Structure 1
Amino acid sequence: MTGTGKCIRKFRQELGYSQEYMAMQLYISQSNYAKIENELINISTQRLKAIADILEVSMHDLLVEHTKKTITLLDTEDDLDQKVIEGLYITTRALYEKIIDDKDKEIAFLREEIKNLRAN
């Protein structure tokens, strides 16, 4: 996820939010939040979604904003451009597949809970 932390920082600063504010919203310490922006820890899909919601952007925006700059720099090299674009689509697709998988698990859990409630 190289660059994602920097994108998060950029969007946060554009909104005038502090790291402390973001950390409070995410129920984590400011030092752990700083690790996210400094790309010292991996971000779970759920955490990325929460950050995107706070910043009022899509998860896609957080994952690919830095890639736009890379594509611009590579405009003269078509092969590299194509590889960056393909990587972007693969990353986006994998993210959406993970979200769908997580939601399927959540739905299965909730169905089981409903079943248990009806049994009681």
Structure 2
Amino acid sequence: MLIGEKIKNIRELKNYTQEYIAFQLGITQSGYSKIEKGKTSLSLEKLEQLALILEVPLENIINFERNRYFNQNKCNDEQWSTDVRSKFELIKRLHDDKIVLLEKLIEKTDLELQFYKQNYGNL
């Protein structure tokens, strides 16, 4: 799997949009799309920045394996129960991460509003 595909899969697991990641990177959505499609080379610095935005260690991006998260193999009841539990925990973590992200976005928006009110008044 190419690094762009790995980044895309992690982004989707985190339920982040391309627009959000592009904004965090300071690039356009179409520029970010090229990263996921492998049409743009990634520097180590940009990859580290992506790891921070996705809130995962750099190694997790490099070593990401889709089948770990989307296991489509048949398994017995005990394995199934364990898989369901671990997937539930993953979903809960992703949900909690999304709440934290939304709180950060609200805080950032509030700061921007304060800035505009201070500099331009209430229009």
Could you tell me the TM-score, scaled by structure 2's length? 0.51
Gaps of at least 5 residues in structure 2 are 69-123
Checking the alignment, whether the CA contact within 8 Å between 2:9 and 2:66 is kept in structure 1 is no
Question: Which amino acid in 2 is paired with 1:49?
Answer: E
The answer to whether structure 1 residue 6 and structure 2 residue 16 are counterparts is no
Which residue number in structure 1 is paired with residue 48 of structure 2? Answer: 49
Paired residues for 1:1-120 under 5 Å: 3-66=2-65
Residues 2-60 of structure 1 deviation map (CA, whole Å, 9 limit, x = unaligned): 61111101111111110000000000011110000001111011110010001111111
Distance 1:63 1:12 in 2: 14
Could you tell me the TM-score, scaled by structure 1's length? 0.52
Q: Highest relative contact order (Cα 8 Å, sep 6+), 1 or 2?
A: 2
Q: Aligned-pair distance for 1:62?
A: 1.1
Higher share of residues assigned helix: 1
Q: Secondary structure at the match of 1:65?
A: coil
Q: 1:67 to 1:19 in 2, by over 3 A?
A: closer
Question: Which amino acid in 2 is paired with 1:28?
Answer: I
> Cα RMSD (Å) of the superposition?
1.9
Residue identity over aligned pairs, in percent, reads 35
Gaps of at least 5 residues in structure 1 are 70-120
Distance 2:18 2:66 in 1: 24
